[in-house]
Each structure stands twice: as C-alpha cells, then as structure tokens.
C-alpha cells in the first residue's frame, strides 16, 4: 500500500512541476535545468499499531523552449496507520484496512547542498483523512544526510515513432543513498519516528526534444512518457 501511495505522490510531483506542454506541429524542447529531490519512508510499530510515513520533497527549475522558466518547490507526505494484529482473510488480501489514511501536498521547496551531502525540508501541510473524513494539519521536519557515495547516471536516447515523430533525450542524474530523520506532529500530537535508511537524494539535469513528422498534429508529451 505504501509503495502505491509513493508512486501516486511521485506522479503528482511530476505533473505539477513540469511547464505547460505545446501541442504538436513544431519541435518541442523541454529542459530540467536543475531539480533536487529527497525521499524517505519511515515505519514505527507501537503494539498492534503500525504507522507508515512517506515523504517526497523537491526544488527545481524547469523550462520549455520557447517560453519562460518555472522555479518551484513541491513537498508531498502520506501517512497511514494500520492495526497489524487484525486478522485478514486470504480472499480480502492487501493487508488490514487502514485506521488512518492521510495525504497532503504543498509548494514547500527542498533545501539541499550542491553535491547532495545533506538536504532539509520543514513545513506544515493540510490534508484529509480518508477514513474519518476529517481535515488535519501535519507538521513535518525532515533531515537527509549522505550515507554512501554519489552515483552518476547519464542516459541518452533516440526513439522513432513510425508515422509520428522522433524523440531525443539526455539525462545527467546524480544520486546518493541517505539516512533520514524526521519530527512529525499530527493535529498537535507528536509521533515518534525512528531514523530510516530507506531514503535517498537525487539531482537531475535533463533535456528532451520532440520532432513531429510533417502534417502530424498529435505528437505531444512523449518527453514525459505519457
């Protein structure tokens, strides 16, 4: 369940952060000038209650060409509490139903060092608990510290879509494993979270060009895998 929440939040982050996309006809060029991000997953068990917290934060500068650049931060948090002592039948599957299921997102930017030795975000978010329907405020303060070497992952691709066009892209990605610590408060009540090694920091610089064939008017968004 937590992985599905994390994937959904990551998709929302991408959709909200990229600039407006042009509609076919002319070559479209997009740049991630610089986008730093940090992610972490926490889990703590108190008796039968297990609290899982997923955090993703980014700060980046994007641009379409032609067009202005777009600087934006984005922080997403998901929190789920389950009773792990609850019996679940094989037919039901998927684990016990959540007792608390909250998700929030705002434009708080991640602060990070140039070589990803550390990163930090502290913010207040509002969101709805889908179990009770209550709107709650969450305060979170997360610190990432490098816990391994800096990995580099340059990627280049040239893809032809018959009858549609060509996509050329390049990426220069830097990533570090990290240890993350967090202070969490849910509606005024502090929740103790142990440090986690299930964390990482990443810096992305990329570019992508979409070149549609003449007279083809539907070639768009391929740079983002849609």
Residue 128 lies in a domain: yes
- CA pair distance 68, 60, nearest whole angstrom: 14
- CA pair distance 9, 56, nearest whole angstrom: 8
Q: Please give the full DSSP string across 118-146, using - where no structure is assigned.
A: EEEEEEEEEEEETTT--EEEEEEEEEEEE
Q: Answer yes or no: is pLDDT of 30 > 80.
A: no
Residue 225 lies in a domain: no
Contacts of 47 (CB under 8 A, 6+ apart): 85
Q: Please state the rounded mean pLDDT for residues 92-98.
A: 72
Give the single-character DSSP code of 10.
H
pLDDT band at 6 (very low <50, low <70, confident <90, very high): very low
Residue 226 lies in a domain: no
The structural domain count of the chain equals 1
pLDDT score at 193:
95
Tokens found for residue 64: 């379409």
Q: Please state the rounded mean pLDDT for residues 87-108.
A: 79
Q: Answer yes or no: is pLDDT of 15 > 80.
A: no
Residue 224 lies in a domain: no
Q: Please state the rounded mean pLDDT for residues 108-112.
A: 97
The number of angstroms, rounded, from the C-alpha of 50 to the middle of its chain's C-alpha atoms is 23
Q: Please state the rounded mean pLDDT for residues 38-56.
A: 95
The alpha carbons of the chain give a radius of gyration, in whole angstroms, of 20
Residue 172 lies in a domain: yes
**Average pLDDT over all residues of the chain:** 82
pLDDT band at 8 (very low <50, low <70, confident <90, very high): very low
Q: pLDDT per residue over 128-163, tens digit each?
A: 999 999 999 999 999 999 999 999 877 778 888 877
Count Cα atoms within 13 angstroms, Cβ side, for 80: 18
- Of all residues in the chain, the percent with pLDDT exceeding 70 is 78
Residue 51 lies in a domain: yes
| 160: containing domain | 2-219
Q: Which residue has the tokens 């202005």?
A: 68
pLDDT score at 224:
58
Q: What is the pTM of this model?
A: 0.75
Residue 75 lies in a domain: yes
The torsion angle over the Cα atoms of residues 46, 49, 54 and 55, rounded to 10 degrees, is: -50
Residue 203 lies in a domain: yes
pLDDT band at 47 (very low <50, low <70, confident <90, very high): very high
């Amino acid at each position: 369940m937590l992985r599905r929440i994390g994937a959904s939040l990551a998709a929302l982050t991408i959709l909200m952060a990229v600039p407006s996309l042009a509609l076919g006809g002319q070559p479209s060029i997009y740049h991630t000038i610089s986008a730093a991000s940090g992610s972490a997953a926490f889990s703590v068990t108190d008796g039968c209650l297990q609290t899982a917290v997923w955090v993703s934060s980014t700060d980046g500068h994007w641009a379409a060409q032609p067009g202005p650049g777009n600087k934006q931060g984005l922080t997403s948090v998901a929190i789920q509490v389950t009773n792990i002592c609850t019996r679940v039948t094989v037919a039901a599957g998927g684990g016990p139903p959540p007792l608390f299921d909250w998700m929030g997102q705002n434009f708080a930017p991640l602060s990070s060092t140039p070589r990803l030795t550390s990163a930090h975000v502290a913010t207040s978010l509002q969101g709805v608990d889908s179990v009770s329907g209550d709107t709650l405020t969450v305060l979170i303060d997360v610190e990432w510290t490098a816990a391994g070497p800096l990995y580099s992952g340059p990627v280049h691709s040239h893809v032809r879509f018959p009858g549609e066009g060509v996509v050329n892209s390049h990426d220069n990605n830097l990533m570090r494993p990290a240890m993350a610590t967090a202070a969490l408060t849910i509606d005024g009540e502090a929740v103790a979270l142990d440090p986690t090694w299930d964390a990482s920091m990443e810096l992305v610089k990329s570019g992508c060009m979409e070149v549609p064939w003449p007279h083809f008017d539907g070639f768009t968004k391929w740079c983002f895998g849609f």
